[in-house]
Amino acid sequence: MINTLIVGLGNIGFKYDKINPKKKLTHSSSILYNKNFRLIGGVDSKKNISNQFKKLYKAPIFNNLQLSLKKLNPELIIFTNQPSFKDLLYVSNNKNLKFILVEKPYIKSPSEIKNIIKKLKKKKIIFSLNFQRNFSKKYINLFDKINAGIIGNINKFFCFYNKSFITNGSHFLNLVTLYANKLNKVEKVNNSKENFKLKFNNCEVYFFKVNDTDYNNNSLTIFGDKGKIEISSRPEKCTVYKRKNDNLYKNYFILKKYKTFHLNEKEIQKPVLNNIYNVLKKKQKVLYSVKNMLKYYQIINKLNLK
């Protein structure tokens, strides 16, 4: 079993766990009920969340990272918050540590992230970002269909996100980076730092912030020269539209609904944990590559987020 420490239990995770931890939606519950992992502790500064964690998971809780590592020796550390460069450097000194997973990646300096990757590699510690869609078999199947040309050559993305960009918009940016080439320019839309346009060599990408309280507003539309794909949430699914000639108007075309794929995972963290376990047992490579990570961070840096 892989000894696991979770840093940052989160207000949203706190509410999910309070209702029903056996749904295995959060990192804490996913680890607790996975036979290949052992939850050895958590880190959170909020008392109400800490008290609930101790009660539900019967594991020690600490109010800071430094104290937790004086008492525990994790093999896997999951950061659900945004670790600083110093945090990552500090945990890398733990002798038993084999894997670091970061849920909300945000380090502004490309030189810092390259430096930490280099240091972790020397210590044989694997570092990965937790964009769980990359690990989902349902999404991997969708990526394969896109790569096979189901909507032709991709030329435009429209992304709508709520809350902060790092919390939700970053997951869509991750999907964009799978297909976009070199980033040439970042432009504000409507003079807003939360709405912006990214111009890549091969496509344009638009991000718009919408109502903070409605998760149904999270959506991504991918346009190709032969159709489009709409990805929506609650429930998470995608609908493929293919380009067809318009019977009424010559030389015009319409987009006709072709197929719908359901993308929801009942246990959203399970594919991620399976990958970590298989990597540590030398059975599989890390699905989120260092190359993709550096590409993501380079874009984040150019967005100049706060």
Q: DSSP characters for 14-54? A: HHHHHH-GGG--SHHHHHHT-TTEEEEEEE-S-HHHHHHHH
d(CA 244, CA 183): 31
**Per-residue pLDDT, 215:** 67
**Per-residue pLDDT, 108:** 65
Same fold, 2-130+269-288 and 137-262: no
Q: What is the pLDDT of residues 65-115, one digit of tens each?
A: 999 999 999 999 999 888 888 899 899 999 899 999 998 766 667 778 888
**Per-residue pLDDT, 306:** 54
Burial 187-203 (b: 16+ CB within 10 A, else e): eeeeeeebbbebebeeb
Q: What is the pLDDT of residues 238-289, one digit of tens each?
A: 999 999 988 888 888 999 999 998 988 888 899 999 999 999 999 988 888 8
Using a cut of 0.75, tell me whether the model's pTM lies above it. yes
Residue type, 117: I
* Mean pLDDT on 208-217: 77
Domain 137-262: CATH superfamily is Dihydrodipicolinate Reductase; domain 2 (3.30.360.10)
The single residue listed with the structure tokens 């849920």 is 103
206-210, 232-236, 239-243: least confidently modelled range: 232-236
d(CA 191, CA 41): 44
Q: Give the CB-side neighbour count of residue 197, counting CA atoms within 13 A.
A: 9
The domain spans of the chain are 2-130+269-288, 137-262
The yes/no answer on whether domain 2-130+269-288 falls in CATH 3.40.50.920 is no
